[in-house]
Chain A
Amino acid sequence: MHFPSHATRPGQPMARRLLRAASAGALIALGLLASGCSSFQPPQPWEKGTLARKDMTFETDPLDQRFVQHIYFSKEAASGGYGVGGGGCGCN
C-alpha cells in the first residue's frame, strides 16, 4: 500500500512504526492470555511433598479438618487434595 501523503507529513512513518510495534505487542499479549495457564504445569502426584506438609493445611485441628472434609465430600461426592486421609496424595 502507498500513501502519497508521506512526503508531505514526515512525522507519519514514526507513528506507523510505533503503531506496528504496539499491535505486535498486543498480539503477543493476546497469545499469552489466550493460552492462559495451559503452559503452567500443575504439580504431579509425586511432587506434592510440600503440599502434604501439615502446615500447608487450611485448618489447625486435624480432627476438625477431618470432620469438615467428611461433610464436604459427603455432600459434593468429591474428595481428596486437602491432606486428609493420605497426606494430599490423591489416594485417600
Chain B
Amino acid sequence: MAHFSHFSRIASRLIVSLTMAGAAAAAVALTVGQPAPALELPGVQGNISLAAAKGKVVYVDFWASWCGPCRQSFPWMNEMQAKYGSRGLQIIGVNLDAKREDADKFLAQTPAKFTLAFDAKGDTPRAFAVKGMPTSVLVGADGKVIEQHSGFHDDDRKALEDAIVAALAKAGR
C-alpha cells in the first residue's frame, strides 16, 4: 500500500506541475507608469539597449516581415524619427522574424530610417506583453511606460504622434 501512495504522489505532482505550466503562459502584463522591461538586443551594428537611451523618449515598435500593418507603419515611423529625432525621440524597431533573411528582404523593400534591433527568440515581446502585431510601446525620458498600442491604422497616426509630442514636452524638449 505504501508503494501505491508513493506512485499517486508522483502522479498528483505531475498533474499540478502540468497545470501550472499552462497557467504561467499568460502571466506577464505591461503596466503604464511602471519602468519598462529591459531591452538589450543586437542591432545592425552593435547592441541596442533601452537603458542606453535613457533621457530620450523611446518609441519601441515590435514588427515582423509577414505583418501587413507593420509595412504601413514604416513610412510613418521614418517621418516621426526625422521630425522629432532632434528633440530627443528615438524609435527602436524590434524585428521578431524567426529568420533574419526575411527581415532583410523586407528592409530592402521598406527602408527604415530609425534604429533597428533583432530578436528572433522572442524574449522581449514576451517581457513587453505583446498581444498583436505590430505593437508599439512609448517609453518616457524617465524610462517609464507611457502607453502601449496594438496594431497600426491610418487613423492611429494622429493619436500616436500626439502621445510622442506630449512625452517630449513632459521631458522638457
Contacts and interface: CB of A to CB of B under 8 A. Distances in A.
From A20, A46, A53, name the one whose CB has the most chain B CB atoms within 10 angstroms.
A46
A20 B3 contact: yes
Interface residues of B, number: 39
From B12, B133, B152, name the one whose CB has the most chain A CB atoms within 10 angstroms.
B133
Contacts, number: 103
Contacts of B64: 46, 49, 89
A12 to B, nearest CB: 15
B66 to A, nearest CB: 4
B134 interface: yes
Given A32-B18, A91-B69, A27 B8 contact: yes
Interface string A68-87: 00000000000000000111
Interface residues of A, number: 31
B150 interface: yes
A87 to B, nearest CB: 5
Interface in A1-44: 1, 20, 23-24, 27-28, 30-32, 34-35, 37-39, 41-42, 44
Interface of A: 1, 20, 23-24, 27-28, 30-32, 34-35, 37-39, 41-42, 44-49, 52-53, 85-87, 89-92
11 contacts: A1-B1, A24-B10, A30-B11, A31-B11, A32-B14, A38-B19, A44-B125, A44-B130, A45-B132, A86-B151, A89-B66
